[in-house]
Homo-oligomer: A and B are copies of this chain.
Amino acid sequence: MLRKLTPLKINHVRLQDSFWSPRVQLLHQAILPYQWQALNDEIDGVEKSGCIDNFKIAAGELEGSYHGFVFQDSDLYKWLEAVGYSLQTEPDPEWEKRADEVIDLIGRAQQPDGYINTYYTVKEPGKRWTNLIHNHELYCAGHFIEGAVAYYKATGKRKVLDIACRFADYIASVFGDGEGQLKGYDGHEEIELALVKLYHATGDQQYLDLSRFFIDERGQDPSFFLEECERRGEKRRKEDLEYHQAHLPVRSQMDAVGHAVRAMYLYAGMADVAAETEDHTLWEACQTLWKSVTEKRMYITGGVGSSSHGESFTIDYDLPNDYAYTETCAAIGLVFWAHRMLQIEPNSIYADVMERALYNGVLSGMAEDGKSYFYVNPLEVWPEACHHRHDKNHVKTVRQGWFGCACCPPNIARLLASLNQYLYSYYDQEIYVHLYISSEAEAELSGGRVRITQVSSLPWDEDVKLTVSVPEPAKFTLALRIPAWCQGAQLTINGETVTWESVNGYAKINRRWSDGDQLEWRLPLTVERLYANPNVRVNAGKVALQRGPLVYCLEEVDNGPTLTDLCLPVNEELTVQVEADLLGGVAVISGNGVRSNPSGWEHALYRPAPLDSVSASIKAIPYYAWCNREPGEMLVWIREC
């Protein structure tokens, strides 16, 4: 079997974490209700969504014209998916009722042949499948399928799954290499991974085959997209297809290119199909692209996509901090992909990246109160320059109301709602702990049922306690991830120090466990000074601070303006203190640095005198928490001297 591990299901893991649980709660308190109102155009002063109305018009129940982007339907589908995950862990009759009504509406908007897409049904009837490169038709289908599967798993109600299958069956009739079929694929990948979920939910092989078809066809010569564009009279060149990862067959792609979110969704789908079909060449392609991203094209925050133009990857080591795009959705996509890679190859390199993206590049996208969002997550912000430089106008210097564009906020919602599934995996007689987040997990190993209770003090403190519950003593392996950020992890079981075998970054403890066995897993949290590969030109001479999974940053509110002027001596000892009243309670890193003496510079732009330094205290906070106080400058990579 290519895939080694199976993630524990969402409803087999219960989060009880002081760091994450309140954020998941924001889902119920803020995100889902607000989004529901937005989809229904019930919020005054907010840009019209038109989403629900589009479905009503498509169902023939409302007069009107289509409103919004071509992918407007997907907003509803992501909401449905988040509700589905939420109901898997916490039943809620009211939300279930709303979802049922929405599903009924979707069913009524479904066309006799199974097709669902309100844009084409209402606005361009007869034009289906004529603009796959741009119009997100299969992308929307994919999000519907993901939503349908999540809701079906939560409630066991087949209606939504049946609607999805009818739609997928119809898609399978349209696409393929048979006579009269389209040998095409979507401009925005998403359906590939969704079809694998539908295959799992139904056991119907044709969905897996269709996903594989889309992946195998992508980038083949002659190009489906170029021919499609030619049919519509649109001029495109082969190079333009990099944006869609359609410039080469996926197995020939050596570098991560193009739109970063699309790339992440494609790579996640490739990993799924590789695992399901035991396709080693596809798995090798995944590994090649993984190296491209994580060894050459990823920010230290787990953000990906260094150019606003095309929200895209550029070239190796081109990772400007202030011009970064690093869309929240792309970091989320990296979590999806890393999680899939980890199940195929149980190696902490995947879990490390998954954790890095989750705690930094994803979490920075949301304000502490869940009410405003960053789409773009740069690592250095000088607000005045962003306001005045046209080439930085993609960088918002404060988070925006989440309703402005409907892409990242519901993506964070569905990730938070399904966070449970990223913590543990199992295989035969092994149970893996990937993330140290307080929780209760139940696994059905080949030797019987095991419950693990995890009490983690991360990310602020270094103790993780695990309690094993078994109906009767059982032999199995507990595999605890040794994070890359940790040196000198220590383990005791029932108070006794234990050694372990380290396999691919996991501490494997194979023994006969008794009910109530207690593990104390100490993961020393030190302030790490991280350096970038010298080819990352912008980070030369600079250091990033990390503690545990958290990358830190400087904010103007703590350090004054002109953060680039601050310099951290190479031997300066840094201290850590948890400030309970700060940003919901965070560990702060402090130290003494230097900055330029401003005197003499009042009227000088350049001068020969060597810079005169004065001491300056430096205070760093977790990157994810920036911009929750006064707006101002922010900086991750600090000069070292």
| Chain A residues packing against B (C-beta within 8 Å) | 291, 294-296, 298, 300, 307-310, 314-315, 318, 323, 382, 384-385, 388-391, 528-538, 540-541, 544, 562, 564-565, 567, 570, 595-596, 598, 601, 603-611, 639, 641
Given B296, B309, B544, B604, which contacts A533 in the complex, CB threshold below 8 Å? B604
Sorted nearest first, the 5 A-B pairs with minimum C-beta distance are: A309-B390, A534-B596, A537-B564, A534-B565, A540-B564
Find chain B residues with CB under 8 A from A530 CB. Answer: 606-608
Q: Are B531 and A598 in contact (CB under 8 A)?
A: no
Residue of B nearest to A530 (CB): B606
In the complex, what distance in Å separates the CA atom of A538 from the CA atom of B537? 12
In the complex, what distance in Å separates the CA atom of A30 from the CA atom of B296? 46
User: Given the known A-B contacts A300-B606, A531-B608, are A385 and B314 also in contact in the complex, defined by CB atoms under 8 Å?
Assistant: yes
Interface centre among A391, A564, A606, A611 (most CB of B within 10 A): A606
Q: Are B603 and A295 in contact (CB under 8 A)?
A: yes
Find chain B residues with CB under 8 A from A535 CB. Answer: 562, 565, 601
How far in angstroms is the closest Cβ of chain B from A323? 6
Residue of B nearest to A485 (CB): B608
In the complex, what distance in Å separates the CA atom of A605 from the CA atom of B301? 12
Find chain B residues with CB under 8 A from A570 CB. Answer: 610
Residue of B nearest to A639 (CB): B541
Q: Are A606 and B544 in contact (CB under 8 A)?
A: yes
For this complex, 18 residue pairs linking A to B, each with C-beta atoms less than 8 Å apart, are A295-B605, A298-B605, A300-B606, A308-B390, A314-B389, A318-B389, A323-B389, A528-B608, A530-B608, A533-B601, A534-B595, A534-B611, A536-B605, A537-B562, A537-B564, A541-B541, A541-B567, A541-B641
Q: Are A606 and B532 in contact (CB under 8 A)?
A: yes
How far in angstroms is the closest Cβ of chain B from A540? 4
Q: Are B641 and A390 in contact (CB under 8 A)?
A: no
Q: Are B534 and A391 in contact (CB under 8 A)?
A: no
Residue of B nearest to A306 (CB): B389
Find chain B residues with CB under 8 A from A538 CB. Answer: 564
How far in angstroms is the closest Cβ of chain B from A559? 14
Q: Are A537 and B601 in contact (CB under 8 A)?
A: no
How far in angstroms is the closest Cβ of chain B from A606? 5
How far in angstroms is the closest Cβ of chain B from A403? 27
Find chain B residues with CB under 8 A from A391 CB. Answer: 307-309, 323, 391
This chain: copies in complex: 2
User: Given the known A-B contacts A307-B389, A564-B540, are A315 and B606 also in contact in the complex, defined by CB atoms under 8 Å?
Assistant: no
Given B294, B531, B611, which contacts A607 in the complex, CB threshold below 8 Å? B531
Residue of B nearest to A487 (CB): B608
Residue of B nearest to A382 (CB): B537
Given B307, B596, B607, which contacts A390 in the complex, CB threshold below 8 Å? B307
Find chain B residues with CB under 8 A from A536 CB. Answer: 605
In the complex, what distance in Å separates the CA atom of A603 from the CA atom of B607? 40
Given B300, B529, B544, B608, which contacts A610 in the complex, CB threshold below 8 Å? B529
How far in angstroms is the closest Cβ of chain B from A634? 12
User: Given the known A-B contacts A534-B601, A541-B541, A596-B534, are A529 and B310 also in contact in the complex, defined by CB atoms under 8 Å?
Assistant: no
Find chain B residues with CB under 8 A from A382 CB. Answer: 537
Given B294, B300, B318, B605, which contacts A296 in the complex, CB threshold below 8 Å? B605
In the complex, what distance in Å separates the CA atom of A607 from the CA atom of B538? 16
Residue of B nearest to A565 (CB): B534
How far in angstroms is the closest Cβ of chain B from A228? 24
Find chain B residues with CB under 8 A from A595 CB. Answer: 534
Interface centre among A310, A318, A388, A605 (most CB of B within 10 A): A605
Known A295-B603, A309-B390, A382-B537; 13 more pairs at CB < 8 Å? A296-B605, A307-B390, A309-B389, A391-B391, A531-B607, A531-B611, A533-B604, A534-B562, A535-B601, A536-B605, A537-B562, A540-B567, A541-B641
User: Given the known A-B contacts A570-B610, A606-B300, are A388 and B532 also in contact in the complex, defined by CB atoms under 8 Å?
Assistant: no
Find chain B residues with CB under 8 A from A604 CB. Answer: 295, 533
Find chain B residues with CB under 8 A from A314 CB. Answer: 385, 388-389
How far in angstroms is the closest Cβ of chain B from A133? 19
How far in angstroms is the closest Cβ of chain B from A385? 5
Find chain B residues with CB under 8 A from A323 CB. Answer: 389, 391
Find chain B residues with CB under 8 A from A533 CB. Answer: 601, 604-606
How far in angstroms is the closest Cβ of chain B from A595? 7
Q: Are B567 and A531 in contact (CB under 8 A)?
A: no
In the complex, what distance in Å separates the CA atom of A223 from the CA atom of B567? 48
In the complex, what distance in Å separates the CA atom of A294 from the CA atom of B567? 27
User: Given the known A-B contacts A309-B390, A606-B531, A608-B529, are A318 and B385 also in contact in the complex, defined by CB atoms under 8 Å?
Assistant: yes
User: Given the known A-B contacts A534-B562, A562-B537, A641-B541, are A603 and B291 also in contact in the complex, defined by CB atoms under 8 Å?
Assistant: yes
Find chain B residues with CB under 8 A from A641 CB. Answer: 541, 641
In the complex, what distance in Å separates the CA atom of A609 from the CA atom of B543? 11
Residue of B nearest to A604 (CB): B533
How far in angstroms is the closest Cβ of chain B from A515? 40
Find chain B residues with CB under 8 A from A298 CB. Answer: 605
Residue of B nearest to A294 (CB): B605
Interface centre among A294, A307, A541, A565 (most CB of B within 10 A): A541
Find chain B residues with CB under 8 A from A567 CB. Answer: 540-541
In the complex, what distance in Å separates the CA atom of A136 from the CA atom of B310? 35
User: Given the known A-B contacts A323-B391, A536-B605, A605-B298, are A610 and B565 also in contact in the complex, defined by CB atoms under 8 Å?
Assistant: no
Find chain B residues with CB under 8 A from A296 CB. Answer: 605
Interface centre among A298, A300, A307, A389 (most CB of B within 10 A): A389
